[in-house]
């Protein structure tokens, strides 16, 4: 009987150790995954800060097509699109493109754009020197806003990469949809041309 009790205690102790180990592994998995993606560029994750490295030598012999894709989280009541669907660039050449967003509600709202790059291995070579995705974006009720992105494709990128897709998904900041509209909207900050006509 004593041997059975001791065996039960050992099984319980081992199960408890496994549960704690699994919890610890799950807790550590997210930062480890983020670090891994940051180093390797896998999963299309891009840097969340502006590139401030050396000026790159433009490779005029190569061209890469960069396409732009936008989407909204299902609870995000904005319109959001690029002004150009794609551009063709030389590696090392700074390029500016613009996106436009419009808050279709009668409430002031705050959103955050999350970027990703495809193919995933290109993420490490896609350098943004300016991007609306670095900060949260506040749009007043009915406001429409131009948002620039300036990027450089590192000439060190694999020569097999001839097309890159830059995707953005806009998410609403939790709680911001409940904020009351600001009185006296600055309509001069809004675009005169409706979003649907771009």
Q: Over the stretch 14-24, which tens digit does the pLDDT of each residue have?
A: 667 666 655 55
93 and 140 in a single domain? The answer is yes
60 and 88 in a single domain? The answer is yes
Segment 4-55, tens digit of pLDDT: 666 667 767 766 766 665 555 544 444 544 444 444 444 445 556 677 677 8
Q: How many domains does the chain have?
A: 2
Parallel, antiparallel, or unpaired for β 144-153 and 86-89?
unpaired
6 and 99 in a single domain? The answer is no
Segment 130-159, tens digit of pLDDT: 999 999 999 999 999 999 999 999 999 999
Sign for the pseudo-dihedral over CA of 130, 93, 64, 119:
negative
151 and 187 in a single domain? The answer is yes
Alpha-carbon 58 to chain mean position: 26
CB 91, CB 153: distance < 8 Å: yes
pTM above threshold 0.75: no
33 and 59 in a single domain? The answer is no
179 and 96 in a single domain? The answer is yes
In terms of residue numbers, what domain contains 32? 2-40
88, β-bridge pairs: 65
CA dihedral (65, 60, 132, 193) in degrees, to 10, reads -70
CA dihedral (140, 142, 146, 151) in degrees, to 10, reads 70
């Amino acid at each position: 009987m004593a041997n059975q009790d001791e065996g039960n205690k050992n099984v319980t102790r081992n199960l408890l150790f496994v549960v704690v180990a699994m919890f610890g592994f799950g807790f550590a998995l997210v930062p480890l995954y983020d670090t891994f993606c940051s180093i390797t560029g896998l999963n299309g994750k891009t840097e969340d800060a502006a590139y401030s490295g050396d000026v790159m030598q433009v490779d005029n012999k190569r061209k890469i097509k960069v396409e732009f894709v936008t989407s909204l989280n299902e609870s995000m009541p904005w319109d959001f699109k690029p002004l150009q669907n794609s551009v063709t660039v030389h590696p090392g050449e700074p390029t500016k493109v613009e996106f436009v967003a419009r808050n279709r509600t009668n409430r002031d709202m705050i959103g955050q754009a999350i970027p990703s790059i495809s193919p995933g291995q290109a993420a490490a070579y896609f350098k943004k020197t300016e991007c609306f995705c670095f900060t949260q974006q506040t749009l007043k009720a009915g406001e429409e806003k131009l948002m620039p992105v300036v990027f450089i494709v590192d000439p060190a990128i694999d020569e097999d990469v001839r097309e890159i897709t830059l995707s953005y998904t806009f998410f609403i900041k939790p709680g911001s949809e409940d904020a009351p509209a600001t009185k006296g909207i600055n309509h001069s900050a809004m675009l005169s041309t409706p979003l649907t006509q771009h």
